[in-house]
Structure formats: structure tokens, C-alpha cells
Amino acid sequence: MPRYLVRRLGQAVLVVAGVIVLTFAIMRLVPGDPAVAFAGPKATPEELAAARLRFGLDDAIPVQLWNYIRDLVTGDWGTSLRTRQPVRDDLLLAFPASLELVGTALLLAIAVGIPVGVLAARYKTKFPDFGVRITSMLAVSVPVFWLALALQTVFASNLGWFPIAGEYDSALDTTSPLTLWTNITIVDALITGNWPIFTSTLEHLVLPAVVVAAYPTGVIAQMTRAALIEESGQDHARLERALGFGETSILTRFALRPALNPVLSLIALVFAYAIVNGFLVEAVFNWPGLGRYAVQSISNRDTPAIAGVTLLVAVVYVLANLVVDLLQGVVDPRARAR
Amino acid sequence: MTETRVAEEPVRLRRTLPKVTDRFAAAGAVLIVVILLATILAPWLAPYPVDRLDLVHTLLPPSGAHWFGTDKVGRDVLTQVLYGGRTSLTIAVAVLAMSAAVGVTLGVVAGYAGGWLRDVIMRVTDVFLAFPALLLSLALAVVLEPSVTTAIVAIAVTWWPWYARLAASVAASISTRSYVDAARCLGVPAPMIILRHVLPNSLTPVLVQISLDAGGVILTAAALSYLGLGAQEPTAEWGLMVEQGQTLFTTNWWVVTFPGLAILVTAFAFNVLGEGLRNALDPRRVVK
């Protein structure tokens, strides 16, 4: 393994360790006694003591931290105070639903953002560029929860074009039950050929995916535009111009590929952001993902659940960054030196 | 020769001028001034006293008497939006000031000192950077009692690492300049060098970053309040207003639309201004 790879992996492991410690520290700040929260307000002293013993609350802090890390590594992410289920099982159901939403949104953002960025770069400082700059800035500045409510009200409640909430029509569970493979509904429906659920999920996906896609589309369009403009000022573009290539073909044939490099790393960076932004969208559209799980856990002060969500998303974020850095190391040898 | 020199001057001038007069950034700056004035002068501008309930005139649509209509307890939405701006902007200022203070201090020390101290500080910032702002704010806001102060602390905890990282890289490059070397050779103590030379010269990129971030902080704060983890009743706050009105969206659109628009316009203004400032400082990014 090349040295930069080893160093980068080591760094990621260190950050994940730090993330675990920080999550533990936050959860230890809870003013209420977790044992009381678990056993309920009417618990007898014996039940309380049992709960304290169960969570190891009487141990010294370093011992608790060590146990926490050991449990995490062995797959015990604690028990949710609300669902009374292992947090890990809850997350295994909720995370794929979030992935489904965010993945669709990112595909949408790439499909729209890159062409729009090319358009803006081609007609820079002209009207299309102006329009793209304003629209992408608006997309970046809009509060997602408000956009979600607005689209839901207009396109679902008033016009009735799309379903109001949920992941798919729950009546389908009885008429054409879904076999789970990946827990990602749309993928499972596709590979098992379950068309009723597949189309229903697609219909339900449109509005939340558009809302989640707003921010990534805006930044991808801005980044594509900026990278293309910088690339079209390079020497190779001058040569291509001298050879008689038109501006459009210089941009799409020669400038786009190197310009996509920074855009690619941006996509991985907005991925984690989109997951967290998706929390608010999931809450509005009642999407059964991490966000809805987190929001429900918040109102119940369900600390193990919140800790699980926090940890999972942070680790996903670290992994996304790692993948970007490694990809760039493969694509661009200069990045390995960093 | 003289002719070319004469010709060079206006060219350089023209190159700097569009940076300052970028219409986009200028529009953002004007918008921000308007928003700031509107929120500061809220007590004089607001047509009704803040938080005044009027149970006879609930859910009135926008009209001459109530430009933005009234909400379900008869409060004037325009008044609440104006006062809500105070909460949002206070949060933004407090978060940015706190995180810039902490981040720049740590960053400048790390950048100047280098070596193991820099490594330790940077690894700690890496850990904090692994949490998207809203996520850590969410976790913190659950643990602490939800309030405006909690929201400020929660967002600031996730925001400072960006400034630490930025300040560290700027300070590291400044620390290699010859005037810093000169000061070191003259026996000026390190804290003095940092305060006198490194810190002032590291501030510009941080200030630009702050203006770029203001929109993001306002959006995050609104999101926290929307989730019930920030401002609480009866504080007027935009995210909270959207949350309280959301069930009425289909029937009484104005209760949700105006506070949402207020967030959008404010974040937009800051983002546009920030982008303009960044372009002005980084000429490579300016479109000729």
C-alpha cells in the first residue's frame, strides 16, 4: 500500500476515535439520569438500581468510555428508550431509507447542476449566467423545511399531483408484500420485480428528493461554472481556440473533464450535508429515515438513539471524505503529496 | 514606452473596479443594510406591539391593516417577522463572534507554532468537522435545555473548527515571511509576534469567511428552532413561526410564507455579499 494511503487511513481511524469520544462526552452531559429515563418515573429504587447496573452508570468515567467503545465495536449500539429496540436494528432500517432519499436527490442534483453550470459558463456574464447565478444562490439559501412545506402544500395538498407523505402506499404491504434484501425499498422492489411498490415509491420520492436536491444542485452548478471558467482560461483552451474550436466544444470536449475533478469531491462533501438536511425534509414528508427517527428521539430525549444517529452520520462523513481523498490521489498524483 | 505605461494604469484600475462594484454583491449589501435597519428599528417600524394577542382578529389574510395578515392568536405577522429578525440576527452575530474568537485564537497559535502543537489542534478540529453543523447542534440541543442560548452554543461548537483550520493555514504562511523572522531574531516574544504580526494579517480571509457563513448560521438556527430545539414561545423567531404555522399552510398560507421568505431573503443577501467579497479577494475567481 502506498504511504499516502496508510497515512490517510490512519488519520480517518483517529478521527473516528475522536468522534466516539466526543459523542460519549455529549451524552454524559445529559442533565437527567438515563436510568430514570429508562425505568420510567414510577420506578422503584430496586428497578432504578437495576437500570443503573445495566447501563454501568456506577462505574468510573474512563471505564464507562472503554465499555462504550467495546460495545460499539462488538455491534451493541445500546437500546432505544422509545422503541425499546436495539439502536443498531433501528438504524439498519432507517439508514437505507435515508440513503434512498439522499441518493435520488444527489443523482437529480448532478443531472441538473452540471449541465446548468456548463450553460452558465458558456454564456458567462450574459443573461443565462445571471439567471443561473441567482437561481443557484436561491437554492443554497432556501430553508429546506420551508421549501418542503411549500411544495407539499402546493403539489400534494392543493393540486394532488403527488402523495402527501410516506415512502409508499402502505396498503401495498398486504397486496404485494416486499421481500427485503438491502432494506432500500426502491432497490428491493426493482430486483424482486415488485412494480406496484416500485412505482408507488417513485411517486412518493419526487417531492422530498427535489427539496433535498435544492442545495446540492445549487453548489454543484456554482462549482461547475467556476471550474469551467478557470479551465477555459488555461493554455490548452487557448490552443484549442487557435485550432478553431468553438467555445461550446472547448467547454464540453476539453474543459469539462478536468473541471469535474473538484466537482466530484464537492459531491462527496455535500453528501453528508444532504443527509442532515434531509432530516428536516423527512420530518415534513414523514419519510421513514434517520431524520424522522432522530426527530422522534429528540422529543423523547432518547439519548442512545440520538448518540447512534450522531455517530453513524459522523462516520459516514469521515468515510465520504476518505473516499474523496483516495479518489483524488488516484486521479491526480499531485494530491498524494498533501 | 511612456504610452504603454500610461495605458497600463487605467487597465489596473478597471480591473479593481468591477470587484467593488459587482452588481450582485452590491445588491446583497444593500439588502443586508435594509434588513439590519428593519430589525433594529422594529419597535418604531412595527405597526402593532410585539406579541399582542387579538383573539377577535385571528388568521386574517393580508390587508391594508395587516400587510402580512395575522396568525392563529391574532398577532400581526409583519410585526412578528420584524422582531423575529432580531432573534435570528442576534444568534448569527453571537455564533460568528464566538466561533471566530475561539477558532482564530487556536488557528493562529497552531499556524505560528507548527510542530506537534499544530498537529494536536488540527486533529481536534478534524473531529469536530466530522459532525455536520445541524447534527451536532441537534445532539447538543437534546442534552441542554432548548433555548436561544442553547442554539447559539450548539451552533458555535460546530462552527469554530472552520475558522481554526482557515486561520492556521493563513498564519502558517505568514509565519514564514521575513518580517516575522526579523521580529523573532530581534528577540520579540512569541505571544507578541502573534498579536502584532500574525493575527492582524490573518484576519482578512477569516472576515470574508464570516460573511460567507452568516447565511448558513441563520439557516441552521432557523432549522433548530423549527425542530423545537432553539427559540421557544413567546420569542418571535422565523423558524419557530414556520413550525407553529405549518398545519395552517393549506388554509392560511401567509402565516408560513412570510417568515420563510424572511429566512430566504436574509440568507440570500449574506450569501451574495460573501461570494462577492470572496471574488474581490481572490482575483482568479473573478470573471473577466
Q: According to the model, what pLDDT value does residue A213 have? A: 92
Q: Which residues in chain A are contacts of B24 at CB distance < 8 A?
A: 133
Separation of alpha carbons B262 and B267, rounded Å: 9
Higher pLDDT, A298 or A106: A106
Q: Which residues, at least 6 apart from A116, have a Cβ–Cβ distance to it below 8 Å? A: A132, A136, A217, A221, A224
Indicate the Cα dihedral angle A202, A204, A205, A207, nearest 10°.
Answer: 130
Entry pTM:
0.84
pLDDT-derived band of residue B282, with 50, 70 and 90 as boundaries? low
Any domain includes B5: no
* B249: nearest CB among A149, A297, A301: A149
Cα A209 to the center of its chain, rounded Å? 12
* A141: nearest CB among B141, B142, B268: B268
pLDDT-derived band of residue B5, with 50, 70 and 90 as boundaries? very low
Grid cell of A29 as nine digits: 452531559
pLDDT-derived band of residue A34, with 50, 70 and 90 as boundaries? low
In chain A, residues 159-178 whose CB comes closer than 8 Å to chain B: none
pLDDT-derived band of residue A332, with 50, 70 and 90 as boundaries? low
pLDDT-derived band of residue A217, with 50, 70 and 90 as boundaries? very high
Helix or strand or coil: residue A218? helix
Query: How many cross-chain Cβ pairs, A to B, lie less than 8 Å apart?
Result: 142
Q: How far is B9 from chain A (nearest CA, A)?
A: 23
Helix or strand or coil: residue A286? coil
A115 close to B (CB below 8 A): no
Higher pLDDT, B273 or A2: B273
Q: B194 with B107: CB under 8 angstroms? A: no
pLDDT-derived band of residue A38, with 50, 70 and 90 as boundaries? low
Preferred mutation among A127, A132, A146 to probe B, highest tally of B CBs within 10 A: A146
Higher pLDDT, B168 or A260: B168
Any domain includes B217: yes
Looking up residue B162, the CATH number of its domain turns out to be 1.10.3720.10
Any domain includes B270: yes
Put simply, the answer to whether A149 touches B246 (Cβ < 8 Å) is yes
Any domain includes B14: no
Closest CA to B23 of A130, A24, A282, A288: A130
Range of the domain at B224: 20-281
State whether the Cα torsion B175-B177-B180-B185 is positive or negative. Answer: positive
pLDDT-derived band of residue A223, with 50, 70 and 90 as boundaries? confident
Q: Mind listing the pLDDT tens digit for each residue in A241-260? A: 788 788 888 778 777 877 77
Q: B249 with B256: CB under 8 angstroms? A: yes
Any domain includes B206: yes
What is each CA distance from A327 to A268, A271, A303, A332, A333, in whole angstroms? 11, 16, 36, 8, 10
* A314: nearest CB among B130, B134, B268: B130
Any domain includes B88: yes
Grid cell of B184 as nine digits: 523573532
Q: Which residues, at least 6 apart from B6, have a Cβ–Cβ distance to it below 8 Å? A: none
Separation of alpha carbons A312 and A306, rounded Å: 10
Closest CA to A256 of A247, A269, A243: A247
Separation of alpha carbons B269 and B266, rounded Å: 5
Grid cell of B2 as nine digits: 511612456
Q: How many domains does chain B have?
A: 1
Strand partners, A79: A86
Any domain includes B184: yes
Q: Mind listing the pLDDT tens digit for each residue in A43-57? A: 777 777 777 777 777
Q: Mind listing the pLDDT tens digit for each residue in A160-206? A: 788 877 777 776 777 777 777 777 777 777 777 777 777 778 788 88
Any domain includes B180: yes
- Is the bond preceding B234 in cis, omega lying within 30 degrees of 0? yes
Put simply, the answer to whether A141 touches B215 (Cβ < 8 Å) is yes
Q: Which residues in chain B are contacts of A310 at CB distance < 8 A?
A: 131, 135-136, 138-139
Q: According to the model, what pLDDT value does residue B260 have? A: 87
In chain A, residues 198-257 whose CB comes closer than 8 Å to chain B: 226, 229-230
Q: How far is B92 from chain A (nearest CA, A)?
A: 15
Grid cell of B5 as nine digits: 505605461
